[in-house]
Amino acid sequence: MIFAPITGVNHHGQTIVYGCGLLSDETTESFIWLLEQWLKAMPSGPPKVIITDQDAAIAKAITQVLPLTLHRYCIWHIMFKFSDKLGPVIARDYYGLFRASVYNSETIEEFEATWNDVVQQGKLESHDEDILSYGKANAGDIYKEIFLRFQDEVVKSTAYLKCDIIREDDNQCVYTILRAVIEEQSWKVRQIIYDKNSSFAKCNCGGFEVEGIVCRHIIFFYRSINIVNLPTEYILERWTKSAKVGRVWDDDGVEVKDMGDKSLIMRHIQLSQLSQTVIDEASLSPETTDYLKEGLEKLRIGIKELCLSLGVEEVSSTKRKPQQLIVKEPAQVKAKGSGKRLKSSKEEAFGKHKCGMCGKTGHNRTTCQQLGDG
């Protein structure tokens, strides 16, 4: 069967697995089932963005199950296909230009302009439409690490000198952020659109929209207009300490109370440590074991009565008996991406190396069959 993992980024910027499924095939119907089952297990609703490889079946399933989710293609697959479309020689000579046109473009128009330069320099007209279709779908949607990014953005904001207002009306102002001039380096002009009603600023670099971290240009802008505290809209809950505080359900769909209360967790840890010590001592003889069992039963009854008098809800430890499932042997299927495993340089070199005995590839003199025949 086909293993289909669903991964994402947690509130520490770390890659984690949200869920996974086993599929009998890679059809649209199978991907629809996978996404529907995944949504049932995710109480917060559908994601804002999802990244996949370029597969028509997955794209169709996302359109049906996640109509409000922004779908983008994986940048690794895009860059990997560059050599497939153009050949190894052209890919080697012009990979740097192509990579720069993808990573440094923030709009489709900007990518088209830089890509035209790549086409003219490398005379790649016959492959133009193939690569261009990949770039258009992904311009400006590249995700990077976010750990300590805010601190880094604050430091880099000191490189900017001033902001000039270029347009203003009753609702908003448009500013241009000017950076210190450094020889042999050119910088893109950054514009800030400031909403007078909400005091919210938006930068044309798209840093906050893509990474969830306020960019250096907005930080400099607020400092220049003497605003010390950033608006709360820039502080996403997922990056705060309270990101994991909320409603939690167990395997049976029952809400678990007070999981966000650290005092409850600490009490549970203390009782677990004490009970483990008592169990270790009581298990040394049958008499002490029976004594502990009788004492625990009396304690359990007393605690239950005390909880009722205090109005504390009892947490049921009983679980529904799982149904007996008969798992049959899955059918043998071939995944769409199978047979394309990336080989190391040593594997590729060994495959091209010719044997000194017979002149064939795939083995050497030591393992050559002719040596054994002789």
Residue 221 · residue 194 · CB < 8 Å: yes
Same domain, 183 and 232: yes
Same domain, 165 and 120: no
CA distance 59 to 29: 12
State how beta strands 15-23 and 2-9 pair.
Answer: antiparallel
CA distance 38 to 50: 13
**Mean pLDDT of all residues in 246-261:** 56
Same domain, 179 and 215: yes
CA distance 123 to 27: 38
Number of domains observed in the structure of the chain: 5
Max mean pLDDT range (58-67, 102-111, 223-232, 267-276): 58-67
Tell me the per-residue pLDDT of 323-338, one tens digit each, with 9 for 90 and over: 667 777 777 777 776 5
Same domain, 154 and 215: yes
Tokens of 87: 């050949």
**Mean pLDDT of all residues in 191-195:** 88
Residue 166 · residue 176 · CB < 8 Å: yes
What is the model's pLDDT at position 140? 36
Structural domain includes residue 247: no
Structural domain includes residue 261: yes
Structural domain includes residue 284: yes
Structural domain includes residue 250: no
Could you list the residue range(s) of the whole structural domain that residue 180 is in? 149-239
Last residue of a domain, one of 106, 136, 166: 136
Same domain, 107 and 32: no
Same domain, 82 and 99: yes
Name the burial class of residue 294, with classes exposed (0-12), middle (13-18) and buried (19+) by CB atoms within 10 angstroms of its CB. exposed
Q: What is the mean pLDDT of the chain?
A: 75
**Mean pLDDT of all residues in 150-171:** 82
Where residue 33 falls among pLDDT bands split at 50, 70, 90?
very high
Same domain, 124 and 156: no
Structural domain includes residue 334: no
**pLDDT for 203 beyond 60:** yes
What is the model's pLDDT at position 61? 93
CA distance 207 to 224: 19
What is the model's pLDDT at position 222? 86
DSSP state of 201: E
Same domain, 66 and 81: no
**pLDDT for 29 beyond 90:** yes
Structural domain includes residue 28: yes
**Mean pLDDT of all residues in 249-273:** 67
Residue 174 · residue 237 · CB < 8 Å: no
Beta strands in the chain (DSSP E): 2-9, 15-23, 49-52, 70-73, 160-168, 172-179, 190-195, 201-203, 248-249, 255-256
Q: Check residues 2 and 125 and name the one with the higher pLDDT.
A: 2
What is the model's pLDDT at position 294? 92
Same domain, 117 and 164: no
Structural domain includes residue 317: no
Residue 52: strand pairing partners: 73
Q: Check residues 261 and 6 and name the one with the higher pLDDT.
A: 6
**pLDDT for 202 beyond 80:** yes
CA distance 308 to 206: 55
Where residue 255 falls among pLDDT bands split at 50, 70, 90?
low
- Phi/psi region, residue 309 (left: phi>0; alpha: psi -120 to 50; beta: rest), is alpha
Structural domain includes residue 318: no
Instruction: Tell me the residue type at 335.
Output: A
**pLDDT for 219 beyond 50:** yes
Tell me the per-residue pLDDT of 340-372, one tens digit each, with 9 for 90 and over: 555 655 556 555 667 777 777 767 766 777 665
**pLDDT for 192 beyond 90:** no
**Mean pLDDT of all residues in 185-189:** 66
Tell me the per-residue pLDDT of 40-94, one tens digit each, with 9 for 90 and over: 887 777 888 899 888 889 999 999 999 999 898 888 877 777 777 666 777 777 7
Residues 6+ apart with CB under 8 A from 36: 65
Q: Check residues 326 and 26 and name the one with the higher pLDDT.
A: 26
Same domain, 211 and 169: yes
Q: How far is CA 119 from the centre of its chain?
A: 32
Tell me the per-residue pLDDT of 101-120, one tens digit each, with 9 for 90 and over: 777 777 777 777 877 777 67
Same domain, 224 and 160: yes
**pLDDT for 258 beyond 60:** no
